Amino acid sequence: MKRVLANDGIDNLGKQLLEAAGFFVETHKAAEGHLAETINKHEFDVLLVRSATKVTAALMDACPGLKLIGRAGVGLDNIDVHHAEAKGIAVINTPAASSQSVAELVFAHLFSGVRFTGEANPRMRSEGSTNFNELKKQYSAGSELQGKTMGIIGFGRIGQAVARMALGLGMNVVASDPFIKEVTLKLHILQTGQDIPVKIATSSLEDVLRKSDFVSLHVPGKVDGKAVIGKAEIKLMKAGAALVNASRGGVIDEDELLLALDSGKLSFVGLDVFENEPTPRTDILHHPRVTLTPHIGASTKEAQERIGKEMAEAILAFFKRH
Ligand SMILES: NC(=O)c1ccc[n+]([C@@H]2O[C@H](COP(=O)([O-])OP(=O)(O)OC[C@H]3O[C@@H](n4cnc5c(N)ncnc54)[C@H](O)[C@@H]3O)[C@@H](O)[C@H]2O)c1
Identity of residue 199? K
Q: What is the mean pLDDT of the chain?
A: 97
Give the model's pLDDT for residue 18: 97
Q: With contact defined as beta carbons under 8 Å apart, do 142 and 114 qualify?
A: yes
Strands (E), the chain: 3-6, 24-26, 46-49, 68-71, 90-93, 149-153, 172-176, 182-189, 194-201, 214-217, 241-245, 266-271, 290-292
Residue nearest to atom 43 of ligand 1 (CA): 75
Determine the average pLDDT of the residues in 247-275. 98
Would you call 268 helix, strand, or coil by DSSP? strand
Residue 252 pairs in a beta bridge with 229
Tell how strand 90-93 and strand 68-71 pair up. Answer: parallel
User: One of 50, 157, 164, 248 is an active-site residue; which one?
Assistant: 248
Whole-number Å distance between alpha carbons of 285 and 279: 10
From ligand 1's centre to the CA of 21, what distance in Å? 33
Q: Determine the atom of ligand 1 nearest the C-alpha atom of 161.
A: 16
Residue nearest to atom 4 of ligand 1 (CA): 297
Ligand 1 binding pocket (C-beta < 6 A) is 73-75, 95, 98-99, 102, 153-159, 176-180, 218-221, 223, 228, 246-248, 272-273, 295, 297-298
Residue 144 annotated among the catalytic residues of the structure = no
Give the model's pLDDT for residue 75: 84
Query: What string of DSSP letters covers 80-118?
Result: -HHHHHHHT-EEEE-TTTTHHHHHHHHHHHHHHHHHTHH
Would you call 197 helix, strand, or coil by DSSP? strand
Whole-number Å distance between alpha carbons of 35 and 8: 12
pLDDT tens readout for residues 126-174: 999 999 999 999 999 999 999 999 999 999 999 999 999 999 999 999 9
Pocket test for ligand 1, best of 218, 222, 245, 293 (most atoms within 8 A of CB): 218
Q: What percent of the chain has pLDDT over 90?
A: 97
Residue 295 annotated among the catalytic residues of the structure = yes
Long-range contacts of 280-285 (CB under 8 A, 24+ apart): 280/249, 281/254, 283/258, 284/254, 284/257, 284/258
Q: Determine the atom of ligand 1 nearest the C-alpha atom of 158.
A: 16
Give the model's pLDDT for residue 287: 97
Residue nearest to atom 19 of ligand 1 (CA): 156
* Residue 74 pLDDT exceeds 90: no
Total Cβ atoms within 10 A of residue 218: 28
Whole-number Å distance between alpha carbons of 68 and 46: 5
pLDDT tens readout for residues 186-224: 999 999 999 999 999 999 999 999 999 999 999 999 999
Residue 3 annotated among the catalytic residues of the structure = no
Q: Determine the atom of ligand 1 nearest the C-alpha atom of 297.
A: 3
Total Cβ atoms within 10 A of residue 184: 8
Determine the average pLDDT of the residues in 248-262. 98
pLDDT tens readout for residues 52-72: 899 999 999 999 999 999 999
User: One of 83, 295, 305, 313 is an active-site residue; which one?
Assistant: 295
From ligand 1's centre to the CA of 112, what distance in Å? 23
